[in-house]
A = this chain, B = another copy of it.
């Protein structure tokens, strides 16, 4: 497996573009296109929120009917959620406009939206944006990067990842882009993420690979505990690598899963580290668990705790809050068997052993917790299973961003 620079245009036969359509933001791009020269096999996972945005309903229907998408139209600024019949009409009209301009079928157009809930999207601007996107689409590195930038809302950095691996002498590429900074909470998949691959792969293998990996990547991040109405992960495979077809359960499938996992985990960690107002990526790792499920529940609870997150913001080794968050997670464990470490580029420090504090240097702990990526590892002394979750610190900037987001 070979990590490479790139995003949604890294795989063969995929083009991308960005456009400034003035949907809500001015003076920046706010629409993106992913276009495949060939129709794709597709897999998708969507928000579990009862309140589902119109584009989530639109995409899910296409994925469930096993249609062959060829384009994805994304806008940032307005979520098209809680918009009733008018919101669904907007999806249909968007797909029809893209279909006319790109010469594809309307039901091969997937749609992603992110931004304010409850506002209607101005269709005339969407149509203008689609014309720009269609004219500008290219397969180069820059176009992929421009698309990754156009889908940002409160994100401070675009998020891309790409990787290649060999299948029977053919190079297969998986690349992706994602956005997500607020309303991020681990429950199914909680943001927009678009992954493209030129792998030739069976539909079953594609769907299995995505649904399994989402559980260990996007579902293990949290910024603020709010599961969005718009969460979408789409995985498109156009077969252009011309490898022998990858089938479920084969060694090549395992290779594909490993590469997909790298792209998904990288994008998920980038989202957590760029959480609204965040100054640090915060990883919680549970080792010595009886089961992976137990480890996941404990790890998630730590990164979701407001008190843990504010302690990280203050570079304060307040380990009591971490044990407290593990305690109310719903998972059983023996607090008196827990050994806990803080770790970062500044070193590793044991803080508690068998549930009570050891003598440690508060200064050293503060230094460790002042780095841009910090990690807490709790060994619960029960078995061999482990899991990690990713979040961020909770800072004043989160309040600034969200106390007045709409205006």
In the bound complex, CA of A116 to CA of B319 (Å): 10
The verdict on A183 contacting chain B, using a C-beta distance below 8 Å, is yes
Q: Cβ of A307 and Cβ of B49 under 8 Å apart?
A: no
Q: Which residues of B contact A398 (CB under 8 A)?
A: 306, 310, 399
Determine the residue in chain B with the shortest Cβ distance to A332. B50
Interface residues of A in 1-59 (CB under 8 A from B): 48-52
Copies per complex of this chain: 2
The verdict on A79 contacting chain B, using a C-beta distance below 8 Å, is yes
Given A118-B320, A182-B307, A226-B305: A313 in contact with B82 (beta carbons within 8 A): no
The interface centre, meaning the residue of A49, A224, A327, A333 with most chain B CB atoms within 10 A of its CB, is A327
In the bound complex, CA of A353 to CA of B83 (Å): 12
In the bound complex, CA of A356 to CA of B83 (Å): 6
Count A-side interface residues using an 8 Å CB cutoff: 64
Given A82-B356, A316-B406: A326 in contact with B224 (beta carbons within 8 A): no
Q: Cβ of B402 and Cβ of A399 under 8 Å apart?
A: no
Interface residues of A in 330-380 (CB under 8 A from B): 331-333, 335-336, 352, 354-357
Q: Which residues of B contact A319 (CB under 8 A)?
A: 117-118
Partner of A323, one of B117, B328, B395, B402: B117
Given A324-B226, A324-B228: A50 in contact with B305 (beta carbons within 8 A): no
The verdict on A64 contacting chain B, using a C-beta distance below 8 Å, is no
Q: Cβ of A323 and Cβ of B225 under 8 Å apart?
A: no
The interface centre, meaning the residue of A48, A321, A329 with most chain B CB atoms within 10 A of its CB, is A321
Partner of A326, one of B51, B52, B405: B51
The verdict on A394 contacting chain B, using a C-beta distance below 8 Å, is yes
Q: Cβ of A336 and Cβ of B117 under 8 Å apart?
A: no
Per-position binary interface string of chain A over residues 118-139, scored 1 when its CB falls under 8 Å from any chain B CB and 0 otherwise: 1000000000000000000000
Per-position binary interface string of chain A over residues 66-96, scored 1 when its CB falls under 8 Å from any chain B CB and 0 otherwise: 0000000000000101111000000000000
In the bound complex, CA of A341 to CA of B82 (Å): 16
Q: Which residues of A contact B (CB under 8 A)?
A: 48-52, 79, 81-84, 116-118, 182-183, 185, 187, 224-229, 304-307, 310-311, 313-314, 316, 318-321, 323-329, 331-333, 335-336, 352, 354-357, 394-396, 398-399, 402-407
Known contacts A82-B352, A226-B306, A395-B403, then 4 further A-B pairs from the complex at CB < 8 Å, ordered by chain A residue = A82-B323, A307-B402, A313-B399, A395-B399
